[in-house]
Amino acid sequence: MEYRTFGRLDWRPSALGFGAMRLPTVSERRNGISTHQMTDIDEPRAIELIRAAIEGGINYVDTARPYHGGQSEVAVGKALLDGYRERVKLATKLSLSPRWIQAAEDLDPFLDGQLERLQTDHIDFYLLHGLSRSRWEQFQGMGIFDWAERTIADGRIRHLGFSFHDEVALFEEIVDAYDWTFCQILLNYMDVEFQAGVRGLEYAATRGLAISIMEPLRGGQLARTPPPSVGAIWTEAGDQRTPADRSFQWLWNRPEVSIVLSGMSSMDQLEENLASADRSSIGSLSDADLAVYNRARDAFMALNPIPCTDCKYCQPCPQGVDIPLAFSAYNEKTIYGESGRGFTAFMDYLARGTGAERCVACGTCEEACPQQIPIIEWLKRVTSFFGLDSESA
């Protein structure tokens, strides 16, 4: 296992971290499906998997209250009994939801409940979960930093960070707002300009933050056999790595990356990822290697059925529809020929935040689109494809 730096801390994290969002479930074993929403965790398998990861050298375990309908923290707590808790740093998250937190007085009970489920007296790395503009403002309105300082002083948490899902300008604002220890961002070789992206990665590093990476495989998309046109690029370049290993190595190549989280649900995935981590190192990819990644990214983009260039001339929509994001989710799903149920959590999550179902066919967007895309008709397809007009939306 390669061990890396973690910002300003005198601690070396394993290159690979264990993300407890996609633990093995009974439903997955029975029906061949698995998502982070399933509550029926197969606890014996999950415990075995987490402990095998620790035996393999992983020293960072990441979970959150919403994962597996609230059961991920319970399973992780059980897995870290019998001496395993002392061998890892544990991360979980402060999740804003009306079900749990409506005011500042709810913060302490929420954290105390997490400590109880995790069967520990402290959280090593505590994150403000999934910051967007609205969540950031909510946290600030609760006096979150005063509360965090109190919990650090009483020992319930050791270090404060945040995870992020919004535009890079907001990311930079948040980085500069507090003396954070670390942050968690979405990044992979396809999403170099999405959300915080590479710009955010580099910005946080210049401010001394450790950076953990989520969605390195885009919800599993980048672990699959690529479309023929993309696969041909890797073949011509002589790249014999597996799709997952290729994706991980792109991230581990960068010195700013402290740890890459993977939501593993089987021993096969764990063993493959541990082997990848053993081979990882900063600066392992040449300029020629990185050029091949760029060509592969371009080839993926050329497969998009909707010729949207993300110019955002259609924004803002009067109904609040995030048209570019809706089209991006649709494009990336159809590249793999997927339809119906069984979406990866990543793209399903994106689609459900677009508001595509709110389109009223006013035509404002089509008048503004320089590509002359029939946006209204495409939004109807997006809505139907992702089931956004159903009760599950």
Q: Which residues contact 1 (CB under 8 A, 6 or more apart)?
A: 14, 15, 16, 56, 57, 58, 274, 277, 278
Q: Which amino acid is at 60?
A: Y
Buried-exposed string 194-218: b where 16+ CB fall within 10 A, e elsewhere: bbbbbebbebbbeeebbbbbbbbbb
Label residue 182 left, alpha or beta by phi (over 0 means left) and psi (-120 to 50 means alpha).
beta
End-to-end alpha-carbon separation of the chain, Å?
Answer: 41
Beta bridge partners of 182: 161, 210
Instruction: With beta carbons less than 8 A apart as the criterion, state whether 259 and 17 touch.
Output: yes
DSSP 62: E
Copy the structure tokens of residue 218: 């885009």
Neighbours of 110 (CB within 10 A): 15
222-227 contact pairs (CB < 8 A, 24+)? 222/188, 222/189, 222/190, 222/246, 222/247, 223/247, 224/336, 226/296, 226/300, 227/299, 227/300, 227/303, 227/335, 227/336
Distance CA 358, CA 195 (A): 23
Q: Which residues contact 261 (CB under 8 A, 6 or more apart)?
A: 17, 18, 19, 60, 62, 184, 212, 213, 214, 216
What digits encode the pLDDT tens for the residues 16-46? 999 998 899 887 544 444 444 467 889 999 9
Superfamily of domain 16-292: NADP-dependent oxidoreductase domain (3.20.20.100)
Please give the angle made by the CA atoms of 205, 177 and 180, to the nearest 5 degrees: 50
Give me the pLDDT at residue 34, please.
Answer: 41
Give me the pLDDT at residue 393, please.
Answer: 34
**Positions of CATH 3.20.20.100 in the chain:** 16-292
Distances from the Cα of 251 to the Cαs of 258, 299, 327, in angstroms? 10, 20, 26
Mean pLDDT for back-to-back runs of 10 residues, the chain (393 residues): 96 97 75 53 95 98 91 96 98 88 92 97 96 92 96 98 93 97 95 92 98 89 87 94 96 98 93 96 96 94 81 88 87 64 52 85 89 91 79 37
Helix (H), strand (E) at residue 261:
strand 259-262
pTM: 0.82
